[in-house]
Structure formats: structure tokens, C-alpha cells
Amino acid sequence: MTATLIDGKAFAAGLRTRIGTAVAALKTQGITPGLAVVLVGEDPASEVYIRSKGRMTREVGMNSFEHRLPADTPQADLLALIDRLNADPAVNGILVQLPLPRHMDEAAVINAIDPAKDVDGFHILNVGRLATGQKAMVPCTPLGCLMLLRDQLGSLSGKNALVIGRSNIVGKPMAQLLLRDSATVTVAHSRTANLRDLCRQADIVVAAVGRARFVQGDWIKPGAVVIDVGINRTDDGLVGDVDFVSASQFAGAITPVPGGVGPMTIACLLANTLTATARANGLPDPQGLTP
């Protein structure tokens, strides 16, 4: 079998077009969504990411505010900036780029963001809301994966889903979203025994382990949908956590890297900024952008 390619880049472009239309409608009411991105220190990979985020934010008609702080910024200064952004009515979404320099307490910084502006969905209140089925801001990467899975499968109800990776950013919120859609969810990680056998049972595989080409083709149940969250820079360029060539022989559908989940993450960041703006103005949630 040769898998269908899931074109995340095209799906994300369609999503951004719909977001742009909704932003234009808000502007006629005098509302322009604003996204603030905070980058502490310099990291070449983050630079590329932050630039494409800024460009796409402006392309959909939103205001983009960038704040760059030196790597040795005291945590108190970052917290003071977050306070100002929390209080600024022109800012509807705040993203503090992770990882932060080692001298900072990541949880303290994230939890200083107004949960209503937490477009990453990392604030403890949003994590708890997602886990209990309340209206939350949902982390961008898992939200993008959910959109691709629903588009591919229609209903996820009763499907066996395997999430490989247990991070707060991807694995755990992904598991919550799959559960909410009535999938039967297994979360695997570095200590999981018989990962290969578990994987062979899965109708849905979401790989977010951070190890290049970790998931092998013969682990994949024939016809399964495989979502590759990995972004690994190797000598042969950017590769995912799935061995794409061999997995394509078994999967029913699979996301490529690049061009799969990555562009969906940025589109969902804009979707969350739009949702946050609507909620801040007492408007209903825009259609199709929230789980």
C-alpha cells in the first residue's frame, strides 16, 4: 500500500484564508486582533520560526508585536513585560517562545500570562479546562493534528489512537483532544514496553518523541493514519519522528516533514488569536477553529 499524503501546508493555507476573512469582518467593527511574540535570547531556529509567524500574522490582517530580550534578561523584567502585554487592549494573544534561558522558571513565566490571552494554551488554567472539557485555549500543535485527523477520518469515535510522547506541549494535550473525540487513547513514551506491538494496534499514530525516524514502517497497522510532529534537523535536512519512506508503505495516510504539522501549528496560533479576540469582545467563537 502507498499512503495518501496529508498536505498540512495546503490545509493550513486554507485555514489562514478563512481566518483572514473573519479578521476583515472584525475590522469593519473597529476590532483588529493583535498577537505579541516574546523571544528571549537568540536561537537561529527560533529566528526562522518567529519571522514566518510575524509574516503570516500580518498576512491575515492581524497586528504583530515582537519583543526581543537579551538572553541574560532578569526574570523580573520578562514578568514586567508580560504584565504590560496583559494590560494592553491592543494585544489579544501572547506567545512567549520556549525554551527559555535556564535561569528562568518556565512555569512561573507561562502562568503570569492572562489565561484569556494564552494562545499557546500552556497556562495551568487552560490545561485544567481542556482536561475537564471546559472552554479553553488549546495548544496549537495538537489542535492542528486534530484538524488533520478529523479531515482524514471524519469521526475518531472508537478508533485506537497511540500518542508517542508525553510532553505538556504535545503529547498530553493531544491525548486529551483524542479522548474528547471518543478515541481509545494510549500514551507511550521512552519507558514503554513493546512499543512496536502497541503501534501495530493503532488506527491513529501521533509521533511526538523528538527522535529522528524513530517510528518504523513495519510498526504501522496497514491503513493507519500517521501524524508526524517531529522536527529534527539532521545532515540530510529536516526529518520527522517517523521513518517516512517505510511508513508510507503501510499507512493509509501520513503527514510529511516539512509541510505537515509545522504549518498547521502556525495557522492554529492565528486561529487561537482570533478566538481570543472574539471572546475578549463578547462575540461567539469563530466557527471551526476550536475543538
Ligand X SMILES: Nc1nc(=O)c2c([nH]1)NC[C@@H]1CN(c3ccc(C(=O)N[C@@H](CCC(=O)O)C(=O)O)cc3)C=[N+]21
Binding positions: 165-167, 231
> Is 69 one of the binding residues for ligand X (CB under 6 A)?
no
Number of residues that bind ligand X (CB under 6 A): 17
**Among candidate residues 82, 142, 105, 108, the one with its CA nearest the CA of residue 272:** 142
Q: Does residue 105 carry a catalytic annotation? A: no
Q: Does residue 53 carry a catalytic annotation? A: yes
User: Of 71-79, 94-102, 176-184, 203-211, which segment contacts ligand X by CB under 6 A?
Assistant: 94-102
> Is 65 one of the binding residues for ligand X (CB under 6 A)?
no
Q: Is-contact 213 242, C-beta < 8 A?
A: yes
Q: Is-contact 11 260, C-beta < 8 A?
A: no
Using the rule CB under 6 A, which residue among 263, 271, 272, 273 binds ligand X?
A: 263
Shortest reach from residue 184's CB to ligand X, in Å: 27
Q: Is-contact 119 93, C-beta < 8 A?
A: yes
The site string for ligand X over 130-159 (x = CB under 6 A, - otherwise) reads ----------x-------------------
Q: Name the DSSP letter for residue 68.
A: E
> Is 231 one of the binding residues for ligand X (CB under 6 A)?
yes
Binding residues for NADP(+): 165-167, 231
Beta bridge partners of 184: 160
User: Angle at CA 134, nearest 5°, toward 188 and 263?
Assistant: 55
Angle, helices 171-180 vs 124-131, to 10°: value is: 30
Beta bridge partners of 233: 238
Please tell me the total number of residues recorded for the chain in this structure: 291
| From 75, 97, 152, 216, active-site residue | 97
Q: Does residue 135 carry a catalytic annotation? A: no
| From 117, 118, 120, 243, active-site residue | 120
User: Of 85-93, 199-207, 256-264, 279-287, which segment contacts ligand X by CB under 6 A?
Assistant: 256-264
**Among candidate residues 142, 92, 144, the one with its CA nearest the CA of residue 116:** 92
User: In terms of CB distance, is 100 or 220 closer to ligand X?
Assistant: 100
Q: Is-contact 142 166, C-beta < 8 A?
A: no
**Among candidate residues 248, 264, 25, 54, the one with its CA nearest the CA of residue 143:** 264
**Burial of residue 72, with CB atoms counted within 10 A of its CB: 0-12 exposed, 13-18 middle, 19 or more buried:** exposed
Shortest reach from residue 53's CB to ligand X, in Å: 8
User: Of 81-89, 146-154, 245-253, 261-269, which segment contacts ligand X by CB under 6 A?
Assistant: 261-269
> Is 244 one of the binding residues for ligand X (CB under 6 A)?
no
> Is 230 one of the binding residues for ligand X (CB under 6 A)?
no
Using the rule CB under 6 A, which residue among 63, 73, 97, 232 binds ligand X?
A: 97
180 — alpha (psi -120 to 50), left (phi > 0) or beta? alpha
User: In terms of CB distance, is 148 or 183 closer to ligand X?
Assistant: 148
Q: Which residues bind ligand X (CB under 6 A)?
A: 48-49, 95-98, 120, 140, 231, 238, 257-259, 262-263, 265-266
Give the active site residues: 53, 97, 120
